[in-house]
Amino acid sequence: MKKDSYLLVKPQQAKGIYHSVTPETANWNYLSFGAREMKKGEKWEHETQGNEMVIVLLSGNFKVGSDKGTWETHNGRTSVFDGVAHTLYLPRNSSFVLTATSDMLDIAYGWCKSDVDFPAKFVTPGETPVVIFGGDNATRQFNDLVPPGFGCSKIVVREVYTPSGNWSSFPAHKHDERIVDGEGNVLEPIQEETYFYKFQKPEAYAIQQVYTADRSLDEIVRPRHNDVVMIPKGFHPVVAEHGFHCYYLNFLAGTDQCLANTTDPDHEWIYGSWKTKDDRLPLVTAQMNKH
């Protein structure tokens, strides 16, 4: 049996900190990612030091006390398929204590070095931009948690819902070399990315390819519930297994706070081919968050 690709990171344990991806473990330069489950009353104390950090509520509720402000969720979703995330951005040199206020709390968080100070920001589900993108069986839903222009240094965060059988991150694109036009606009940044997957049923999976134009990197992986796929470079399309809706949470960090990219030239024509939108979308809305 073929060994799993080094790009596929399995959860480390059932409870507690179950993901920890750093530049040292990923062999890259910018992005760190973590995920943890906490029981009611459990506390996480942390200092961001020279990093900006984004915390995403996957399920449950929490409160945060910090030197930048205090925040609390009351209508946290019961799973990623039952509503939209609450998102907390904290700048560098922040100290905080996060406390679980529900029986079980599931959170994900990413961080990267920052050389600029920005204000902390707490974004509720109702304030989160939701976009239906693509077409035909490549239609999917973006919840833009930390979009370009958010007010931060380098980090971008988006959660994506791909209906059963649909393609996502498609047409295939990359962001691994910095290209700037004559007016200084970034056409493609260097960005590292994590895909953090969740599914409604444990037997479900997605298929993701990661490849470069010269095929020096050409891997196909099968992420399951709570798996992470690391994207150090190259094109990286995804397809959801038929019969199972797919969720993934993207953190990106690199040279620029943007979502510019370069499409695989073989796929450019696809943008003009779509005739319909998948009427199963949106799969989640802010109205679904419990009150």
The per-residue pLDDT string of the chain (291 residues; one tens digit each, 9 = 90 and over) reads 355 689 999 998 766 999 999 999 999 999 999 999 999 999 999 999 999 999 999 999 999 999 999 999 999 999 999 999 999 999 999 999 999 999 999 999 999 999 999 999 999 999 999 999 999 999 999 999 999 999 999 999 999 999 999 999 999 999 999 999 999 999 999 999 999 999 999 999 999 999 999 999 999 999 999 999 999 999 999 999 999 999 999 999 999 999 999 999 999 999 999 999 999 999 999 999 965
Per-residue pLDDT, 196: 98
Architecture per CATH, 14-280:
Sandwich (2.60)
Contact 53, 44 (CB under 8 A): no
Among candidates 175, 145, 176, which has minimal Cα distance to 160?
Answer: 145
Contact 16, 79 (CB under 8 A): no
Residue 123's Cβ-count burial label (10 Å; 0-12, 13-18, 19+) is buried
272 by DSSP, 3-state: which? helix
Per-residue pLDDT, 13: 75
Contact 160, 206 (CB under 8 A): no
CA 229/CA 227 separation, integer angstroms: 7
Reading the block at residue 230, the tokens are 């690391």
261 by DSSP, 3-state: which? coil
**Buried/exposed 277-291: b ≥16 CB within 10 Å, e otherwise:** ebeebbbbebebbee
Beta-sheet pairing, 186-199 with 176-180? antiparallel
CB atoms within 10 A of CB 211: 19
* Alpha carbon distances (Å) from 277 to 118, 141, 146, 237: 37, 11, 25, 19
Beta-sheet pairing, 176-180 with 69-72? unpaired
Contact 98, 55 (CB under 8 A): yes
Contact 225, 204 (CB under 8 A): yes
What residue ranges do the domains of the chain occupy? 14-280
Among candidates 124, 49, 113, 38, which has minimal Cα distance to 88?
Answer: 124
Per-residue pLDDT, 291: 53
